[in-house]
C-alpha cells in the first residue's frame, strides 16, 4: 500500500507551479495548478456605473465590461473576473490573468488607455482616460 507523507502545521510543501523556490511568499500569488504565471489587477473607474455595463447597450454595443475583457484577451488569457457594484462613482473590475505580455500595471494602463476609446460605456459614460490599473494581487474579499 502506498504511503502518504503528511504535513502538519504549515504550507511549506505548497510550491508555485513552474517555480521550485516560491513557497509561503507574502503578497505573491502561489499558483498550484495552472502552468503559467498568474497576475491579478483591478481596473478602477473614477466615474460611471460599472453595474450598468454588464450588458450590451440598446443598439447592441458591447458594455464596458465586455470591451475591457476583450482588450485584455488580446495580450493575456482572462481566467476570472469580478465586477464590484458600488455606487455610481469609483466602480471597479478585478481580473485574474494568465500569460500576460504586460510586465507592469503602468504598462498595461498606458496600453489600454491608448487602445480603448475614451468612453467604453454602452449604457452610460465609462471613461478610460482616468481609469487606473492597479496590481494589487489576488484579493477574494
Lookup: cell for 57: 447597450
- Digit-coded pLDDT (tens) for 29-81: 666 666 677 889 999 988 788 888 988 999 999 999 999 999 999 999 998 89
* SS3 (DSSP) at 3: coil
Q: What is the structure's pLDDT at 78? A: 92
Q: What are phi and psi for residue 123, nearest 5 degrees?
A: -120, 5
- pLDDT at 91 > cutoff 80: yes
Angle at the Cα of 135 from the Cα atoms of 129 and 141, rounded to 5 degrees: 105
In this structure, of 8-22, 66-80, 114-128, the range with the lowest mean pLDDT score is 8-22
CATH 3.40.50 is held by the domain 38-134: no
Question: What pTM value is reported for the model?
Answer: 0.77
Q: What is the structure's pLDDT at 118? A: 92
Amino acid at each position: 500500500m502506498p504511503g502518504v507523507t503528511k504535513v502538519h502545521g504549515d504550507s511549506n510543501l505548497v510550491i508555485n507551479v513552474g517555480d521550485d523556490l516560491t513557497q509561503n511568499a507574502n503578497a505573491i500569488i502561489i499558483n498550484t495548478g495552472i502552468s503559467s504565471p498568474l497576475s491579478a489587477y483591478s481596473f478602477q473607474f473614477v466615474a460611471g456605473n460599472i453595474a450598468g455595463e454588464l450588458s450590451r447597450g440598446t443598439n447592441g454595443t458591447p458594455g464596458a465590461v465586455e470591451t475591457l475583457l476583450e482588450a485584455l484577451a488580446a495580450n493575456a488569457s482572462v481566467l476570472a473576473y469580478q465586477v464590484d457594484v458600488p455606487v455610481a462613482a469609483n466602480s471597479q473590475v478585478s481580473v485574474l490573468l494568465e500569460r500576460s505580455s504586460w510586465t507592469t500595471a503602468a504598462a498595461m494602463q498606458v496600453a489600454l488607455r491608448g487602445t480603448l476609446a475614451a468612453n467604453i460605456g454602452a449604457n452610460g459614460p465609462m471613461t478610460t482616460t482616468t481609469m487606473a490599473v492597479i496590481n494589487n494581487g489576488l484579493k477574494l474579499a
